[in-house]
Structure 1
Amino acid sequence: MRILAYLATLISLLPSVLAAPSSTLPARYAVHERRAAEPLHWHLSRRANPSSALPLNIGLRQQNIENIEEMLMAVSHPSSPTYGQHWSAKQVVETFSPTNETIGSVLTWLMDSGFSSDKIRVSGNRGWVQLHATIAEIEELLHTEYHVYTHLETGEEQIGCKTYSLPVRIQEHVDLIRPTVHFNHHPSPAYEVNKRFGGLGVGDDVGPTMSPKKVQASASSDSPGDLSECDSMTTLDCLRALYNINYTPVATDKNTFGVVEFTPQAFLEADLDLFFANFSPSQVGTRPVTVLIDGAVVQTDNQAPSFNVESDLDLEYAMGLTTPQPVTLLQVGDLVEGGSFDNWLDAVDASFCTFEGGDDPSQDGIYPDTQPGGFDGPEDCGILPPPNVVSISYAQDESSVTPAFAMRQCAEHAKLGLMGSSVFYSSGDRGVAGNGNVCLDNDGTPDANGVKFNPQFPATCPFVTAVGATQINPGSTVSDPEVACMTRIFSGGGFSNIYSLPDYQSEAVSSYLTNNPPPFTAQRFNNSGNSRAIPDISANGANYVVAVNGEFRLVFGTSASAPVVASIITLVNDARIAAGKKPVGFINPAIYSDQFKNGLNDITTGDNPGCGSNGFSAAVGWDPVTGVGTPNLANLIPLFLNLP
């Protein structure tokens, strides 16, 4: 079953599933969305002021969206006759723009509800309708109630509702409406970064300071450094040895590689130089090409591992592994609001962006930012083409998003794949548990005492590549097989509670469940055999030597694994571009195919504990701990070069 067609069916069924007969709900109305889970650490304070203004963004149902998986496979599957024939941005807009019928139906509904045309606007890409109204007017329109919620520790406030309803005849034309049920599970960015990355789930585990050995020559694959301590200190040369990286880019003027970071996370120039001086002397003084999105700043006022380690780690290894390829830093969000996944998608895909923001104030930074000190310019829409490869080491629990939200955002990642981008997300660092080791109760609600597995989003989106973590066993060498990472962190993996099983991994998942049946019932995980499974691929996630705040520390996490795999695919793209071919784009159909088995190192040992269990176990072939294994660049390049 096609993934987004399945989701469309799921959402069309929500009214009958969620809406019990009610004397307060008109007969021709039905519940359209219900909050996915009640937020932790927030409490309901009071009813929202009915006279307050609340700009409402209505996401219109896109046409042809039910065919997007098939369209993506046509340009991504290695056996497809149209492999690599990626789309233009214009073609994406024209293919998925909502129909005139959808736009007309929604506008008629709003005007029939008493709103004048001067309060209604349609975005330039036709994907959103914005309504300017008061909370009282919106409550009547959506048959809901808005409340103010207060964060228990910070006192920050936001508004939201638990459900909202639409006329049955309008539901087929609307994906979702914001702000409504999509609740912000992280308050201000500065608060969360000081709480050890709790909001977006950056999972780095930072160890004590240490003193790595200095390389004796330029850190090139021809002059490897000391590999004797790779089981306790992961360096550029360790990764080159593990993944057979012996390639110097030659098409750097045509290739692009982007790394996403969310303010106030920021790299320090002195840290880059300290790292390069020790491991890649020729790169001292090299900086990323910085693109500031929505008033972003590479801030230096707050300096601590909690503020600097993620960006330092990502850039030190992405730049070190792909030199001399320029790396683009996509820094997202101002210091007041920060940003989230929709914000960076806006910047690379204008078709996702609205005239004043289709982003959700409970999930994303909303710009112009009217708060004191906030960025007061318009949000950045389509300010750069999507990079050929994008690495994102951030995540949130899938349980925190609604099916409609998940569907809409995942479709945007599919569009990036159609345009030729490979997007990599970390799969999480708590095994089968969510951020902060939080699991779910039987109803799918976050619960400190829950035992149901809690996978990570957007990694569970079937149109991105989810990256898990491996490690070298203590006492082993780079020549020995790696195992699933079980030092300080556990590779995030499992089965989605939202997305159905994509065709490209159906055989692999079925084989795993048949030959290695997990010892759990449906009370633990989605054991239907028909759900999207993660991760897709893995790389080392333990003992990274990172220069942060003027000293070296060991860092652990899938947020290290993601930029490593992204770097390797960037090198693959370089080889294809140099040969006159296009970038690989969405790689999942290729890495799951039989013809790419020689390009991967199968990981068969280890598990990913969480939620009071040992989690899943690694096995021969794909598994929900390490995916299809780790990449072997020397073997991957000819395999991808053999494709059109």
Structure 2
Amino acid sequence: MFAVVLVLVAGLGLVLSSPSPRSFSIHEERTNIARGWFRVGRRAPPAALLPLKIGLKESNIEKLHDRLLDVSHPDSENYGKHWTPEKVKTYFRPSEESVSAVIEWLEEAGVERARIELSKGDNWVQVKDFSVAEAERILDTEYHVYQHTHGDTRLACSAYSVPAHVQHHIELITPTLHFDGRPSSKRGTQLSARNFKAVSAADHLKPDSNDLSNCDVRITPPCYRALYNIPAEPTIRAASQNSFAIVEYTPQAYLGPDLDLFFANFSPSLVGSRPELISIDGGVVQTEEMDFGVNIESNFDIGYAMTLVGPGQPVRLYQVEDIPEGSAQLLAPFNDLLDALDGSYCTEDGGDDPSVDGVYPDPAPGGYQGPKDCGNKQRSNVISVSYASNEADLTPFYQIRQCSEYGKLGLMGITFIFASGDSGVAGNGELCLFPNGTQSEDAPLFNPLFPANCPFVTGVGATQVNPGSTVFDPESAASLTGGGFSNIFALPEYQKKAIEEYYKYHEPPYGADRYNNSQRARGIPDFSVNGVNCTVVAEGRTIAVAGTSAAPPVIGAIITLINDARLAAGKSPVGFINPAIYSNAFRGAFKDIVDGINPGCGTDGFESVEGWDPVSGLGTPDFEKLLDLWMNLP
């Protein structure tokens, strides 16, 4: 299964078969059916319509890795010289040759030109009123009806082909292989990177909430400040230039009274304050559903983000999806967020896969009736995301295209932070992999998470204060923390030295029958902060929770404070941070974690060791050291 790793981290597809006698080549193929789905015994109705979208190969996409290093590596003379959105759009816009080749292919196949549209970013070709019969003929495939055990159905194929002469112009075609997203009657079904686990129903907060002596049983904002040298009262000097955003997916939403109770104990001046709501595709801070499952994530993310940056730095909330669409999603639809931030990424109505991503206007009762958001929302310097999908849930082409978009936004100076997962080396739901890609709790292969597997984002894990220890003692890796090696993305240049040293001195006791041991794969996580026994308020009750979801907002606050200092000094925000934190200059800015494992898939998982490891990454950060290092850069 792991014989092939993509050699470049962006813009490449899968290994392709030789052209058939009809000059068709398989472009994407799926050998397994996602858990819970089964193919019913009938073909898709020939007259059924498919919103066919063809993602064009972007120009220069194979250079994205190097261009991003050029503005992100501390040794580069172009460090911090981020690109404008227009420069990014122009540099990566598909060539006229690709546009013409795909349109000519469709016309030769009998599609009238009047039915063919090109997105405003020139990166998607869409066909109107496209039938299943046409798709089967043009893509040399068969569409079948798939049904989920909950009753939802999808039209999908197991493989599709395109003519050999246009294949190198096409990245992916939708809807084809994806049928993972499904409606559900359950509340809060979005897969979070951790789905916070309640550790205990702690006592209500008391006046001694700032006491550091209890950080081994209850993590609070003062504990984080002491652990990572974060200032208690940050001096904010560039708030008008700086921005920090938390991403939540409806129906996940915060409750104002819970935030105020939390603020009253840890940052009284914030009582009554709320994040700036930026609604994406009808996203609302709903109060129709109120329970642990739908409130805890947002309460934690926003409470800690706002408390750690202090009252002088506004925090944004990207609330994604209306209530009907949000409640129906099993997979967090990251494309909907990216569409809203970058108009060159989406088509006029969203260049996504409707079986995974949101569809707007939403025809469901009470659905958002406006157009899909496309490049019309403010971009933030730092974006914290505590949601994730299993890498095996989506096809490589889908993930590669999305990963490239994170890279392009990194070129613009944006920092993306994603949680690494809460099931050790297993995926969400404790799912592991069989060699054919099927997911099961009984499978043997490790199952990393997306988008933390993308080399153009920062994937973060969780540590913990050991029982009986203090914030001044060494932490251990949390056993739940996600970590490992991608089965899709290759080892990025900035991580090569760390991975080489890891395998040289600490090679894991597993073979290819357990994980991608090629030593050429992207490693996860990049670094970690505490994610065990974290205090949060839910429905008026103080609860201790655990999960890597704690890491993105805390690390996002740290990067936001560093950005404030740089912007006040007339410098750029730090943008994509991975090349810097893996450089020799930054080695002293992290406290190495050398204790802990992340079990899963019937194994002990990986072990925390000296140096980078696939449990805690580089270790835990020291804010003051990071600040000094980044302030010394241009």
The alignment's TM-score, normalised by the length of structure 1, stands at: 0.94
Q: 2:531 aligns with which of 534, 537, 541?
A: 541
1:598 and 2:588 equivalent?
yes
2:564 to 562, 574, 581: 574
Query: 197, 206, 209: which one pairs with 1:214?
Result: 206
Deviations 1:93-115 (A, max 9, x none): 00000000000000000011111
Letter of the 2:255 counterpart: L
Q: Which residue of 1 aligns with 2:388?
A: 395
Asked if 1 retains the 8 angstrom alpha-carbon contact of 2:179 and 2:355, the reply is yes
3-state SS of the aligned residue for 2:214? coil
2:516 to 526, 531, 536: 526
Q: Distance in 1 between matches of 2:178 and 2:8?
A: 22
Q: Which residue matches 1:384?
A: 377
* 1:54 aligned to which of 50, 69, 83: 50
2:226 is the counterpart of 1:241: yes
Instruction: Note the alpha carbon deviations across 1:129-182, whole angstroms, 9 max, x for none.
Output: 001211111111111122222221x31222211111100111100000011102
Aligned to 1:151: 148
The alpha carbon displacement at 1:599 in A equals 1.4
Residue number in structure 2 paired with 1:121? 117
Amino acid at match of 1:438: L
Percent identity, aligned pairs only, is 49
Alpha-carbon distance change, 347 to 258 in structure 1, aligned in 2, over 3 angstroms: same
Q: State whether residues 493 and 624 of structure 1, in contact with CA within 8 Å, keep that contact through their aligned partners in structure 2.
A: yes
**Structure 1 residues 144 and 331 mapped into 2: Cα distance closer, same or farther (>3 Å)?**
same
Tell me the secondary structure at the aligned position of residue 581 of structure 1: coil
1:91 matched to 2:87? The reply is yes
SS of 1:258's equivalent?
Answer: strand
Q: CA deviation at 1:8?
A: 4.8
Q: Which is further off, 416-425 or 399-408?
A: 399-408
1:189–1:263 contact (8 Å) kept in structure 2: no
CA contact (8 A) 1:3 1:69 kept: no
1:562 CA displacement: 1.4
CA pair 328-7 structure 1, distance change in 2 beyond 3 A: closer
Counterparts of 1:385 and 1:92 in 2: how far apart (Å)? Answer: 17
Q: Which residue among 266, 287, 295 is the counterpart of 1:279?
A: 266
Amino acid at match of 1:349: D
Unaligned runs of 5+ in 2: 327-331
Aligned to 1:180: 176
Which position in structure 2 is the counterpart of 1:332? 320
Contact 2:425 2:598 in 1 (8 A): yes
1:298 aligns with 2:281: no
Give the superposition deviation at 1:189: 6.5
Q: CA separation in 2, counterparts of 1:558 and 1:2?
A: 27
1:10 Cα deviation (Å)? 4.8
RMSD across aligned positions (CA): 1.7
Q: Could you say if the C-alpha distance between residues 496 and 564 of structure 1 is closer, same or farther in structure 2, counting changes exceeding 3 Å?
A: same
Flag the 1:212–1:230 CA change in 2: closer, same or farther, 3 A. Answer: farther
What's the offset of the Cα at 1:42? 1.6
Whether contact under 8 Å (2:8, 2:490) holds in the other structure is: no
Long gaps (5+) in structure 1: 217-223
1:212–1:233 Cα contact (<8 Å) kept? no
**Amino acid in structure 2 at the alignment position of 1:138:** A
Once residues 208 and 609 of structure 1 are traced to their aligned partners in structure 2, the CA distance between those partners, rounded to angstroms, is 22
Letter aligned with residue 91 of structure 1: K
Q: Which residue of 2 aligns with 1:139?
A: 136
CA contact (8 A) 1:214 1:279 kept: no
Change (3 A) 1:9 1:237: closer
Corresponding letter in the other structure for 2:592: D
Residue 210 of structure 1 aligns to a residue whose secondary structure is coil
Aligned-pair distance for 1:190?
Answer: 5.8
For residues 257 and 7 of structure 1, the distance between their equivalents in structure 2, rounded to whole angstroms, comes to 26
Distance 1:319 1:511 in 2: 38
Q: Distance in 2 between matches of 1:384 and 1:622?
A: 36
Superposed CA offset, 1:65-110 (max 9, x none): 0000000000000000000000110001000000000000000000
Q: 1:627 aligns to what?
A: 617
The answer for the alignment partner of 2:249 in structure 1 is 262
How far did residue 460 of structure 1 move?
A: 0.3
The residue number in structure 1 matching 2:164 is 168
Alpha-carbon shift at residue 256 of structure 1 (Å): 0.2
Q: CA deviation at 1:53?
A: 1.5
Which is further off, 350-359 or 66-75? 350-359
For 2:306 and 2:405, locate their aligned partners in 1 and report how far apart those are by CA, in whole Å.
Answer: 27
**Separation of aligned partners in 2, 1:215 and 1:576:** 36
CA–CA separation in structure 2 for the residues paired with 1:181 and 1:43: 13
- The change in CA–CA distance for 1:544 and 1:297 in structure 2 (over 3 A counts) is same
Is 1:371 the counterpart of 2:368? The answer is no
Distance of 1:293 and 1:271 partners within structure 2: 24
CA distance in 1, matches of 2:211, 2:235: 20
Distance 2:102 2:7 in 1: 22
Quote the Cα distance in structure 2 between the aligned partners of 1:245 and 1:89: 32
- The CA distance in 2 between the partners of 1:479 and 1:61, in whole Å, is 51
How far residue 630 of structure 1 moved from its aligned partner, in angstroms, is: 0.9
User: 1:296, 1:208 → 2: CA distance?
Assistant: 31
1:386 shift after superposition: 2.0
- Residues of 2 paired with 1:6 and 1:583: CA distance? 24
Contact 1:257/1:388 (8 A) holds in 2: yes
Q: Tell me if the contact between 2:201 and 2:544 (Cα under 8 Å) persists in the aligned partners.
A: yes
Partner secondary structure for residue 335 of structure 2? helix
Matching residue of 1:39? 34
Q: Distance in 1 between matches of 2:12 and 2:371?
A: 36
Structure 1 position 15, deviation (Å): 2.5
| TM-score between the two structures when normalised by the length of structure 2 | 0.95
User: d(CA) in 2 for partners of 1:124 and 1:164?
Assistant: 26
Per the TM alignment, residue 384 of structure 1 is displaced from its structure 2 partner at its CA by 2.5
Alpha-carbon distance in 1 for matches of 2:619, 2:522: 17
Equivalent AA in structure 1 for residue 219 of structure 2: T
Q: Give a deviation string over 1:12-49, Cα, whole Å, max 9, x none.
A: x3234xx8x6xxxx520011001264111122223222
* 1:381-431: CA deviation from partner (whole Å, max 9, x where unpaired): 112332100000001111122221121011000011000000000000111
Partner of 1:460: 453
| Partner SS for 1:15 | coil
- Alignment correspondent of 1:312: 299
Secondary structure, in 3 states, of the residue corresponding to 1:554? strand
Alignment pair present for 1:415 and 2:376: no
- How far 1:353 sits from its partner (Å)? 1.4
Deviations 1:520-573 (A, max 9, x none): 011001101000000001000101110111211111100011111111111111
**Which range is displaced more, 592-601 or 512-521?**
592-601
Aligned equivalent of 2:66, options 64, 70, 91: 70
Helix, strand or coil: the match of 1:425? strand
Question: For structure 1, which segment, 120-129 or 443-452, has the greater mean C-alpha deviation from structure 2 after superposition?
Answer: 443-452
In 2: Cα distance, 1:557 partner to 1:3 partner: 30
Structure 1 Cα separation of the partners of residues 384 and 9 of structure 2:
28
Contact 2:388-2:450 at 8 Å conserved across structures: yes
Rate the CA distance shift 1:6–1:205 in 2: closer, same or farther, 3 A.
closer
Tell me the residue number matched to 2:329. Answer: none
Amino acid at match of 2:495: Q
Instruction: State the SS of the aligned residue for 1:149.
Output: strand
- CA contact 2:384–2:556 (8 Å) conserved in 1: yes
Matched, 1:553 2:543: yes
Give secondary structure in 2 for the equivalent of 1:351: coil
Superposed displacement of residue 598, structure 1:
1.9
2:278 partner SS: strand
Q: 1:493, CA displacement in angstroms?
A: 0.3
Aligned-partner Cα distance in 1 for 2:184–2:222: 34
Aligned length: 621
Q: Match of 1:141, as an amino acid?
A: I
Structure 2: distance between partners of 1:31 and 1:110: 17
Displacement of 1:615 in angstroms is 0.5
